[in-house]
Amino acid sequence: MTWWRNLLRHPVRSALAIAGITVTTAMLLDMVLLAGGIERSFERLLLGRGYQIRISPSGTLPFDTEATIPGATGLREAFKADSGVAGVAPLLGASAFARTGDTLVALFAYGIDPAEQGIYQMVSGSDLAAGDTIGVLLGAPAATRLGAVAGDTVVLVGRLDPQLATALIERRLIVRGVARLLYDSRGQLSLAAALPVVQSLAGIREDDRVSAFVLRARSDGQAESVTLRLRSAHPDLEVNSVTDMVRHFRERLVYFRQLSYILGTISLIVTILLVATLMTITVNERLGEIVTLRAIGVSRATVVRSVMAEGAALTILGGGLGILLGLATARYLDAILTTFPGLPAAISFFVPDADRLLLAALVLLLTGVGAGVYPAIVAARASIAETLRAEAT
């Protein structure tokens, strides 16, 4: 009645069962990771610099459109006056060009306040200092495309006249370093510079406009109350907390959640049927042996435990391999899905974490044990006399 001996009696059958459980486990794990992974990834992106509130033009999310907010300086002071606000960072997104010889390279420029910024993390070199209007930070793709390193000078031009092929504004800036710009899509050519620099390149210096503000509340618990106050005080602006933005993001990607639930349910059903079918066949083949053991004093509880342990063993062996396969396929699928145009490179669809892995393992174990219930009941309830008579004939 030892479970591992029973599995070794039919090695090919057991191996095929384990292979099937491995595949269904991998699918279940991937669907569990997909169901909530992209939301956690998006939330981590938004909170990467600790700013919990975003303010953008009415009806949009930051950088969703080319709309801007006028009177940025006055608004910034008004936001700072709120007792729950610890920091305010203005942001401006605009097109710019870098001159390399006789050609122009199109770039996306972020205008920021170096003292308060929430859109990049330094990779190499030095950060921009407060009030630095001659320095620039390049994203890694832009640095590679321009062949620039810290200390080099780049020539940026703005307000390009396509008919005359001339620029109305030209600025020579010193590369301070390379930064990871959090909102960039994969391979996007971008840079970050002081807000006045980017405003001048965009031709809106005098209009005092920005694309968005990001605000840092004094504590996470105050973020929602600050959001409500600012939303009430500035009805002409779109004021959202990270929680609000994650909800908007979830609504846009509801398809992925529905798909993950459907495929995850299918994988569980297949696992149950696979284990239950195999254990039923095994029990029927060994019914004579089981009732003989019952006849010499082995209890029904022992028979039930043995059959269910065999089902659990199959599930654990296949599940362990399935988790490894699932992590490998999740990485591959994530590399495909994150190539969607316009999606920030920092976003991931599959985000492995201990809680999700534990949940998948627990669900799988319960599934394997549950699938062995019916075969175990069949084995325990078999009539000793009738079964022995049938075996003898």
Give 378 or 393, the one with higher predicted confidence.
Answer: 378
158: closest CA among 230, 109, 227?
A: 109
Name the one residue in this structure whose structure tokens are 């840092």.
216
User: Residue 30: what residue type?
Assistant: D
Percent of the chain with pLDDT over 90: 22
Residue reference for tokens 């004094």: 218
The residues near 186 (Cβ < 8 Å, ≥ 6 apart) are 338, 339, 343, 345
Kindly report which listed range (192-196, 246-250, 317-321) carries the lowest average pLDDT score.
246-250
Pairing of strands 103-112, 85-100: antiparallel
Residue-level pLDDT at 167 = 53
- Indicate if the pLDDT at residue 335 is higher than 80: yes
For the chain, the average pLDDT equals 82
Q: Does 366 have pLDDT greater than 50?
A: yes
Give pLDDT tens digits for 86-130: 999 999 988 888 988 778 898 999 999 988 888 888 999 999 998
pLDDT digits (tens, 9 = 90+) for 229-288: 999 999 999 998 888 877 777 777 777 778 777 877 887 788 788 777 877 777 777 777
| Domain parsing of the chain, residue ranges | 3-44+252-392, 59-235
Report the alpha-carbon distance of residue 363 to residue 35 in Å, rounded.
Answer: 15
Q: Which element (helix H / strand E) includes 103?
A: strand 103-112
State the pLDDT at residue 1: 46
What SS3 state is found at 213?
strand
CA distances from 255 to 35, 249, 259, 340, 347 (A): 10, 12, 6, 15, 17
CB atoms within 10 A of CB 13: 13
